[in-house]
Amino acid sequence: MTPAARTQATLELLESIHLAMRPADALTSAYFRARRFIGSKDRAAISTRLYAVMRHQARLDWWIEKHTLDKNPRARLLAWLALGEKLPLRAIDELCSGGKYGAAALTDAERAFLRRIEGGTIEHSAMPDDVRAECPPESIEAFKKKFGKNFMREMRAMQEPAPLDLRVNALKSNREEILGDLQKHGFNAKACELSPWGIRIFERPNLNDLPMLKQGLVEIQDEGSQMVALVLDAKPGERVVDFCAGAGGKTLAIGATMQNKGRIVACDILEGRLKRSSERFRRAGLHNIEIKPLSSERDPWVKKHKGGFDRVLTDAPCSGTGTWRRNPDARWHDLGPGLVKLLKIQAEILDSAARLVKPGGVLVYATCSLLPDENENQIEAFLASHPEFTLDPCGLNGADYLSLTPAQNGTDGFFAARMKRAATQGVTP
């Protein structure tokens, strides 16, 4: 592709993401699948520019508004080319040539805007905190309260691209072997610091260059997500429920820790995702996993199996604020229930899942959120209404909760709480 064609492809994606109520990664994948002629280098270049624009959206919009240009995906892309990539006006003119495969030619207003910002920087001292932090205004006070003096450091970390983390499937290989294979093939990779199964790759390889993925030797999984399975600590031979299993990423990690011994039930209300996870389980060599679609968190299956499991993981639906560096569009697009509704859903799911835990068993609640309302506050409310459960500290250095952030831990933002059910208590009906 020509540079102008790459620019037009980036603009088409930005416009699609702006209009559609779907995640950017899904739309990007669909865009490239429909255009097989776009080569791997072009896809990488387009994706890099696309995600850079999304990661800087609030700051780009500030410049656009300052110079009274219409705020839209094209204006953001032009502002990024000038402020982020430092391209002079003549170079942007060439990218927006109006040719057959290029973006439309610059208007007089766009050209005047680019002249005003040429040679400038992406940030300005007059920008308010929410703009510099790329934080939705309605969330800034919650983040400032949580992070205090580290607020801007944490928000800066969430503006950086996420690394590629792999989880080694302990049923088929070990970390040393996979790490050696990656390094032998020229990948800059090292063992993760927290997860005993994790490997971090410091580049964005073509996944087709990683045959161990197809062989089930590794799975792509953020180190923070891997730690949730460590918190659950399922043992071989136990009975375990992954209550909100989704596509099965954490189920796979749990199965490996159980060494294929015992029983895992992967539940979710999205039956299609559960069915697609079956291939991942097979590829990983796991045969102790049963798939159970649920009609809701109050599905009759839960009552029928109350008190029947040693460990239950509730990886609750959440705002996803901990994944903003991976999904920058999620800052500005509300693709699911709002926070108020989410808090109610989380409480209901946790209350229902708790019924499955046997006396003396373990219940783990996890989110990929950084907001206390979805995390610590949910657990405090649950424990207040369920005295048969007590908090079992599971965090780093003996902390009550596992609480991971991009700035402190180099992972996505993750939260987990582990609770034990009293051995002599009955089961909530």
Catalytic residue among 96, 192, 267, 368: 368
Angle value at C-alpha 170, between 168 and 173, nearest 5 degrees: 75
CA distance 154 to 177: 34
CA distance 171 to 110: 57
CA distance 349 to 47: 36
Two structure tokens written together for 122: 């992406």
CA distance 400 to 21: 37
Angle value at C-alpha 140, between 137 and 144, nearest 5 degrees: 165
Which residues lie closer than 8 Å to 264 by C-beta, 6 or more apart? 234, 240, 241, 242, 251, 254, 255, 258, 288, 289, 290
Residue in the structure block whose two tokens are 């799975």: 219
Q: Please state the three-class secondary structure of 223-291 as a single string.
A: HHHHHHHHHHCCCCCCEEEECCCCCCHHHHHHHHHCCCCCEEEEEECCHHHHHHHHHHHHHCCCCCEEE
421 three-state secondary structure: strand
Query: 96 catalytic, yes or no?
Result: no
Please state at what angle helix 73-83 crosses helix 40-55, rounded to 10 degrees. 100
Residues 123/132, Cβ–Cβ less than 8 Å: yes
Catalytic residue list: 368
